[in-house]
Amino acid sequence: MTNRTINFYAGPAGLPLPALERAKEELLDFAGTGMSVMEISHRSKEYDAVHEEALALTKELMGIPANYKVMLLQGGAHLAFGMIPLNLLRKGRKADYITTGNWAEKAYKEAKLVAGDNVREAGSTKAVQFARLPKASELDINPEASFVHFTSNNTVEGTQWKDFPKTDKPYICDMSSDIMWRPFDVNQFGLIYAGAQKNLGPSGVTLVIMRDDFIEMCDAQDLPSYLRFKLHADKNSLYNTPPTFGIYLLRNVLAYNKSIGGLKAIEQNNLKKAELLYGCVDKHAGFFKPFVTEVADRSTMNVDFFLPTEELTAAFVSEAKKAGMVGLKGYRDVGGIRASTYNAVSVKDVETLVAFMETFVQKNG
Ligand SMILES: *Cc1c(COP(=O)(O)O)cnc(C)c1O
């Protein structure tokens, strides 16, 4: 077997080895075509089977009700930031955004660009560097809002809404960095979107899950066609050429996720990983300092912590690399260490990191 690096990158991130091995095996001759899946028509029956399987596995794994459409688009979360207000905030409709981090703020700013005063901030923790989530009492929801937008996992800061914000509005949620980390009830959501490159697959595919009443709100005939959610929903994400290889890999990841017991089993792994990592950080509280001190708000996907000095931080990153672990340097705005432990990171990988951390404290603490 090849020597795989232990990957804690925040995104693009590691993929499950069996999903990659399957791609390797099928690369030169996909489904008996004598071609790779990249080289065949997106209208061919061989590709169509992959496309349908990726959509069906998404619905099955997440338990998506029949009144939702699943779409596989391009442009990442960024294009969705703009498409959401372009499609949904017409005719004076209003929306509230909860800004809890770098990405949540970007989503808000893009919506503001498109919809101006019809978009407002319903709560923000920017005053505390987004190191925690707002309390229910800190949210101020506009009764006239058609939806509330939030970011389920704040990738940069390492906070995560385990209980979704309490409002009586439908949600639109950017789940780019924690989609499918556990099972949850989709019914509260008008729209869910996620760039695939953190928890699902390679970059270049955006998963969009949209409730029928939200699709019906998208009545914009004057938008360029690619920007219309309804068109993609009506055409089953085959209006134009989809990112076929990315969708193929997504299919491989989802099929693997199903084979290991689906989102319930994945949740158990993720909880275990978070317990190990935060456990080590808290145990050595005099050495490691967590960025997020509010325990309930801590992300199971991105764990941010600091070492006593910049020199020790740099030594941690470089020694970890020598020990076969990469991607641990914190995001530039936060600094310190960030270990991203998405679904494809195994409990064993985290055990290896924690053992490294223990040794590092003994040597330097
Ligand atoms: C990475 C990330 C993004 C940016 O995604 P792109 O696909 O690069 O546009 C947006 N939101 C969240 C929560 C992210 O983690």
Q: What is the pLDDT of residues 336-355, one digit of tens each?
A: 999 999 999 999 999 999 99
Q: 124 CB less than 6 Å from ligand 1?
A: no
- pTM confidence score: 0.98
For the stretch 279-323, pLDDT in tens is: 999 999 999 999 999 999 999 999 999 999 999 999 999 999 999
17-259 and 261-364: identical CATH topology: no
Task: Tell me how far apart the alpha carbons of residues 212 and 272 are, in angstroms, rounded to a whole number.
Answer: 36
Q: What's the CA-to-centroid distance between 355 and ligand 1, angstroms? A: 30
Q: What is the pLDDT of residues 189-222, one digit of tens each?
A: 999 999 999 999 999 999 999 999 999 999 788 9
- Contact of 333 with 256, CB cutoff 8 Å: no
Per-residue pLDDT band at 365 (split at 50, 70, 90): confident
Q: Which of 151, 156, 153 is nearest to 172 (CA)?
A: 151
Which conformational region is residue 62 in: left (phi greater than 0), alpha (psi within -120 to 50 degrees), or beta? alpha
Report pLDDT for 1.
56
pLDDT tens digits, one per residue of 79-132: 999 999 999 998 899 999 999 999 999 999 999 999 999 999 999 999 999 999
Of the residues 150, 155, 207, 334, which should be mutated to test ligand 1's pocket, given the most ligand atoms within 8 Å of the CB?
155
Q: Is domain 17-259 classified as CATH 3.40.640.10?
A: yes
> Catalytic residues, which ones?
103, 174, 198
Span from the CA of 325 to the centroid of ligand 1 (angstroms):
23
Decide: 204 in ligand 1 pocket, CB within 6 A.
Answer: no
Does residue 158 line the site of ligand 1, with CB under 6 A?
no
Confidence of residue 18 (pLDDT cuts 50, 70, 90): very high
Phi, psi of 267 (to 5 degrees): -60, -45
Q: Which of 148, 176, 149 is nearest to 76 (CA)?
A: 176
Binding site membership of 176 for ligand 1 (Cβ less than 6 Å):
yes
Mean pLDDT of the chain: 97
Nearest CA to ligand 1 atom 4: 77
Spacing, Cα 197 to ligand 1 middle (Å)? 9
C-beta separation of 205 from 251 below 8 A: no
Three-class SS state of 263 = helix
Q: How far is the CA of 106 from the centre of ligand 1 (A)?
A: 10
77 Cα: distance to centroid of ligand 1 (angstroms): 5
Domain boundaries along the sequence of the chain = 17-259, 261-364
Residue nearest to ligand 1 atom 14, measured at CA: 176
**Which residue is closest in CA terms to ligand 1's atom 8?**
76
Closest ligand 1 atom to the C-alpha of 177?
Answer: 15
Residues in the chain: 365
Q: Which CATH superfamily is domain 261-364 in?
A: Aspartate Aminotransferase, domain 1 (3.90.1150.10)
